[in-house]
Amino acid sequence: EVQLVESGGGLVQPGGSLRLSCAASGFTFSNYWMSWVRQAPGKGLEWVATIHQHGSEKFYVDSVKGRFTISRDNAENSLYLQLNRLRADDTAVYYCASFSASYYFFEWWGQGTLVTVSS
C-alpha cells in the first residue's frame, strides 16, 4: 500500500522558516517525480514545487521561488520542503504528492500538514 506521510507543519511568525518532511512507503520512491501542492484555508489547490527522481531538476511556482527549496533523500525514501521568509499568504495545508509512473498528474497524495504563518 502506498503511503505518504507529511510532518513538520506548525505555527510560525512572518519571516520565519519551517522544514516539511514526507515519508514515502509502498512504492519505489526513487523512480518517481515528487511534488508539493498546497491549499489555503477554504481555497483551491495550488502546485508549489516538483523534483526529478534523482533531484537533478527542480521546478517552483513563481510565488515561492527564492524562498522555498524542494529536496529528497532516496536512501531514506523522503521528500522535503524548506520554507524560508514565510508570509501570511503561505498559510495552507501542504500535501506531498507523487506523479504517476508515466504521466504528470498527481497519483498519490499524503494527508497534508498545516502551516500557519501569523504573528
Partner 1 sequence: EIVMTQSPATLSVSPGERATLSCRASQSVNSNLAWYQQKAGQAPRVLIYGASTRATGIAARFSGSGSGTEFTLTISSLQSEDFAVYYCQQYNDWPPYTFGQGTKVEIK
Residues contributing to the site for partner 1 (CB under 8 A): 35, 44-47, 50, 59-62, 95, 100, 103-107, 109-112
Q: Dump the DSSP string for 46-104.
A: EEEEEE-TTSS-EEE-GGGTTTEEEEEETTTTEEEEEE-S--GGG-EEEEEEEE-SSSS
* Closer of 80 and 112 to partner 1 (Cβ): 112
Encoded amino acid at 45, one letter: L
Q: What is the smallest separation between the CB atom of 81 and partner 1, expressed in angstroms?
A: 15
Q: What is the smallest separation between the CB atom of 105 and partner 1, expressed in angstroms?
A: 4
Q: What is the smallest separation between the CB atom of 35 and partner 1, expressed in angstroms?
A: 8
* Closer of 80 and 95 to partner 1 (Cβ): 95
How many other CB atoms are there within 10 angstroms of residue 115's CB atom? 21
* Closer of 77 and 109 to partner 1 (Cβ): 109
